[in-house]
């Protein structure tokens, strides 16, 4: 029997694994995808790295991720923020100019994308402790308070069971409720709590457009845009440290509308907006990378396909059992949604495991 089973190999699950690897505690990470990292997704285009999941951390307010990145010697770069930002109120009006530094929230990026952090965390965990393509479908609480966990591997079409003393659940709360069956059933109060925690960014999609040159910089534009006209709601410079130039954006089009278009149509609408905002040079793009998170079955539920209207009240759910720990960004009250929240909750989970085993 494994002492600790961690369900999910996103940032939270990997951070717990990296901490447990320093101890003499047997554990395993069961991950449903064929890769680790979860919502972290960095596209590698000829050794230029573009984030299609998270991009930034904020050193002034996010101490856990800032300290970890420094402890792991991971190089970082400042988000480009020179010149003016654009505010586009409608397609027919010229955008307004606002000095970008006035809006500066001092975010930083990781060299090689956020996946560099995932790779370092993964390298701290012995490889046999991470099992990929293991989708947990059911959890059975045994009479002796241990757990039996059943997984399905859709590549091999194979079921496998595991047994553990302590269970750490790092799935987004709504996905946990929807996709994992519990015996006995989770108490109603806990079910309602899980349902009330929407998956952060679950309704979003991200698009990266690459160019030979960051031509907007020559026009004294930072690349930052807030647009009410769409299809992109926010745009930022995503150029890499190796001088590959790029812009990335988040959509104002909700999932239901996005899904009516094919990728080519989405790309055309985005390029049209970039030409409107930055000039005809935007027509000469190199590549477009697109990830629609609302279509990602390892992240979202149907209910997550609606945009989050206000900041959700994230935090720890009501206690279920001493030996069941909830970890992941949506379980952190202060930094819920961000990588910081995933890491803070992971460190708390590690402390709880240590306490249970002493
Ligand atoms: C487009 C986008 C932009 C973002 N931008 C930022 C940003 O700039 N800065 C920031 O700080 N944060 C940002 N975030 C949020 C950040 O990505 C998350 O806070 C963080 O990655 C969450 O990590 P986690 O481990 O809690 O969850 P996840 O990454 O969701 O990990 C959960 C893991 O569980 C696995 N899983 C799911 N179901 C099962 C199952 N049944 N069995 C086994 N495993 C399962 C999943 O595959 C996944 O690997 C962004 C997110 C998105 C999508």
User: Looking at 59-63, 117-121, 305-309, 349-353, which range is the least confident one?
Assistant: 305-309
pLDDT at site 311:
77
pLDDT at residue 207 tops 70: yes
**In the chain, where are the structural domains located?**
1-40+115-200+311-358, 41-113+203-295
Cα of 218 from ligand 1 centre, angstroms? 36
Q: What does the pLDDT look like over 5-14, one tens digit per residue?
A: 999 999 999 9
Q: Provide mean pLDDT across the span 67-80.
A: 96
In degrees rounded to 5, what are phi and psi of residue 240? -95, 170
38 CA to centre of ligand 1 in angstroms:
5
In tens, the pLDDT along 77-92 reads: 999 999 999 999 999 9
pLDDT number for residue 114? 98
Q: How far apart are CA 348 and CA 205, in angstroms?
A: 30
Q: Cα Rg for the chain, rounded, in angstroms?
A: 21
Question: Which one of 3.40.30.10, 3.30.70.20, 3.40.50.300, 3.90.660.10 gives the CATH number of domain 41-113+203-295?
Answer: 3.90.660.10
Compute, in angstroms, the gap from residue 299 CA to the centroid of ligand 1: 7
Ordered DSSP codes for 221-263: EEEEEEESSSSEEEEEE---TTS-EEEEEEESS-HHHHTTS-H
* Superfamily of domain 1-40+115-200+311-358 in the CATH hierarchy: FAD/NAD(P)-binding domain (3.50.50.60)
Instruction: Give the count of alpha carbons within 13 A of 80, CB side only.
Output: 24
Pocket probe mutation, ligand 1, options 19, 29, 52, 54, max atoms within 8 Å of Cβ: 54
| Mean pLDDT value of segment 115-142 | 98
Q: Which helix (H) or strand (E) holds 15?
A: helix 11-20
Closest CA to 71 of 33, 28, 19: 19
Per cent of the chain over pLDDT 90 is 91
Nearest atom within ligand 1 for CA of residue 172: 30
Q: Do domains 1-40+115-200+311-358 and 41-113+203-295 have the same CATH topology?
A: no
Is the CB–ligand 1 distance for residue 328 below 6 Å?
Answer: yes
Would the pLDDT of 307 be above 80? no
pLDDT in tens, 18-27: 999 999 899 9
| Among 171, 206, 250, 289, residue to substitute to test ligand 1 (most atoms within 8 Å of Cβ) | 171
Q: What percent of the chain has pLDDT over 70?
A: 99
CB burial string 196-207: b at 16+ within 10 A, e below = ebbbbbbbbbbb
The rounded Å distance from CA 293 to ligand 1 centre is 10
* Least confident among 35-49, 235-249, 304-318: 304-318
Q: Is 17 in the pocket of ligand 1 (CB under 6 A)?
A: no
Distance between Cα 137 and ligand 1 center (Å): 19
Q: Which atom of ligand 1 is nearest to the CA of 341?
A: 19
> Among the atoms of ligand 1, which is closest to the Cα of residue 328?
26
Ligand 1 center to 14 CA (angstroms): 11
* DSSP strands (E only) in 252-346: 288-292, 324-326
Place of tokens 């309704």: 203
pLDDT of residue 104: 67
Determine the Cα–Cα distance for residues 269 and 289; give it in Å rounded to an integer.
14
User: How close is the Cα of 39 to the center of ligand 1, in Å?
Assistant: 3
Per-residue pLDDT of 241-284, as tens digits, reads: 777 899 999 999 999 999 999 999 999 999 999 999 999 999 99
Q: Is the CB of 11 under 6 A from ligand 1?
A: yes
Q: Which residue has the higher pLDDT, 309 or 67?
A: 67
What does the pLDDT look like over 137-181, one tens digit per residue?
Answer: 999 999 999 999 999 999 999 999 999 999 999 999 999 999 999
C-alpha 283 to ligand 1 mean position (Å):
33
pLDDT at 221 over 80: yes
Ligand 1 proximity of 255 Cβ (cutoff 6 Å): no
3-class DSSP state of 20 = helix
| Dihedral sign of CA atoms 252, 258, 263, 264 in order | negative
Evaluate: CB of 7 within 6 angstroms of ligand 1. yes
């Amino acid at each position: 029997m494994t002492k600790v089973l961690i369900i999910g190999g996103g940032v939270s699950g990997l951070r717990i694994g990296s901490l447990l690897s320093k101890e003499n505690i047997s554990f395993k990470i069961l991950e449903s995808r064929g890769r680790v990292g979860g919502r972290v997704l960095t596209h590698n285009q000829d050794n230029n790295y573009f984030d299609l999941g998270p991009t930034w951390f904020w050193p002034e307010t996010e101490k856990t991720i800032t300290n970890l990145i420094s402890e792991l010697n991971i190089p970082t770069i400042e988000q480009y923020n020179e010149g003016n930002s654009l505010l586009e109120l409608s397609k027919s009006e010229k955008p307004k100019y606002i000095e970008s530094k006035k809006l500066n929230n001092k975010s930083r990026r990781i060299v090689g994308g956020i996946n560099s952090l995932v790779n370092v965390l993964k390298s701290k965990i012995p490889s046999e402790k991470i099992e990929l393509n293991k989708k947990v479908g059911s959890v059975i609480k045994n009479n002796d308070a241990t757990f039996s966990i059943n997984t399905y591997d859709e590549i091999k079409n194979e079921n496998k069971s595991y047994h553990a003393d302590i269970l750490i659940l790092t799935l987004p709360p709504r996905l946990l409720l929807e996709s994992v069956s519990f015996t006995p059933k989770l108490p109603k109060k806990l079910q309602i709590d899980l349902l009330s925690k929407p998956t952060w960014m679950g309704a979003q999609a991200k698009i990266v457009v690459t160019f030979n040159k960051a031509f907007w910089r020559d026009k004294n534009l930072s690349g930052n845009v807030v647009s009410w006209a769409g299809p992109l709601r926010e745009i930022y410079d995503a150029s890499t440290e190796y001088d590959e130039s790029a812009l990335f954006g988040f959509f104002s089009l909700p999932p239901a509308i996005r899904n009516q278009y094919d990728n080519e149509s989405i790309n055309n609408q985005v390029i049209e907006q970039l030409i409107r905002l930055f000039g005809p040079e935007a027509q000469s793009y190199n590549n477009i990378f697109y990830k629609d998170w609302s279509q990602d079955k390892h992240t979202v539920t149907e209910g997550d396909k609606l945009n989050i209207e206000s900041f959700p009240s994230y935090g720890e759910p009501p206690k279920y059992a001493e030996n069941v720990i909830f970890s992941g960004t949506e379980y952190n009250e202060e930094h819920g949604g961000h990588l910081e929240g995933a890491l803070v909750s992971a460190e708390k989970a590690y402390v709880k495991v240590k306490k249970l085993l002493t």
